[in-house]
Amino acid sequence: MQGINEVEGKVAIVTGAASGIGRAITELLVARGARVIAEDIDPAVLAMESPSVVPLVADIAAEGSAEKAVALAMDRFSRLDLLVNNAGIIINKLVVDMSRDDWERIMNVNVTGAFLHSREAVKAMIPQRSGAIVNVASYASYFAFPTIAAYTASKAALAQLTRTLALEAIGHGIRVNAVGSGDVLTNILNTVAPDGNGVAALAAHGKSAPIGRAADPEEIAEVVLFLASERASFMVGSVVMADGGMSVKVGS
């Protein structure tokens, strides 16, 4: 069993790396000796460039971006050990008010982007006979909340992609798992919070979790690191809840 440097020398792709959970994952992987292709639609990701971080500005749902990310890992580091499908977006609308465009935008990023990147990553990992994929799912993979139907449906789909791909990939030595995140203090709600303060909205909602607070992004990154590492060698198709107890609570 490996020790603290279990991702030392490994090569990862992290989507949505410029902010929040993805940034914390990238920083933790690098701190533990990994090299990361940091992919984000936000050019702010370019500022993360370092000997261990290769930024890629791309829309994960766009045709060719997954191929580009994998090619970058291969060109720069000659291998790919880990894909973290983290990028995600949310909208806040009742189903009756939601346009087809709204629905498709969420599905394209949260599900199709993860599918495309997983497909290309697995193709690169099969010849290596090893690898790991970690998806950032949510307690919304299982539970319903009014006004975020597209998001909950997308996160449920991501959980099922995790389980099904896990069955297909494990024969090649590739483990696929997910973290079911609870409320985390990030900017994801900035565009949907009435006052534009997504962090405050998440902090307030987090108080309803049994733990009484929302998480810091680093707390989710730790779970991702574990699932990525050989310490999780027997974990296949798991969606590990890290939600301060939100999903085991009965009632509101």
What length does the chain have?
252
Catalytic residue among 30, 151, 220, 221: 151
Token code pair at residue 97: 């008010």
Q: Could you say which of 2, 8, 31, 42 contacts ligand NAD (CB under 6 A)?
A: 42
Query: C-alpha angle 68/74/80, rounded to 5°?
Result: 100
Which contiguous run of DSSP H or E holds residue 11? strand 11-15
139 is an active site residue: no
Total binding residues toward ligand NAD, as defined by CB under 6 A: 28
DSSP collapsed to 3 states, 65-104 = HHHHHHHHHHHHHCCCCEEEECCCCCCCECHHHCCHHHHH
* Smallest separation, CB 198 to ligand NAD (Å): 8
The number of C-alpha atoms within 13 Å of 24 and in the hemisphere containing its C-beta is: 18
Token pair 């994960």 in the structure block, residue: 60
The residue range among 40-48, 70-78, 165-173, 229-237 that interacts with ligand NAD, by the rule CB under 6 A, is 40-48
Q: Which x/- pattern over 168-207 shows residues binding ligand NAD (rule: CB under 6 A)?
A: -------------x-xx-xxx-------------x-----
Determine if 241 is a binding residue for ligand NAD (CB under 6 A).
no
Determine if 229 is a binding residue for ligand NAD (CB under 6 A).
no
Q: Are 202 and 193 in contact (CB under 8 A)?
A: no
Q: Hey, which residues between 111 and 170 contact ligand NAD (CB under 6 A)? A: 113, 136, 138
Token code pair at residue 250: 């009965």
Looking at the Cβ atoms of 12 and 87, the one nearer to ligand NAD is: 87
Where do contacts with ligand NAD occur on this chain (CB under 6 A)? 15-16, 18-22, 40-42, 59-61, 86-89, 109, 113, 136, 138, 181, 183-184, 186-188, 202
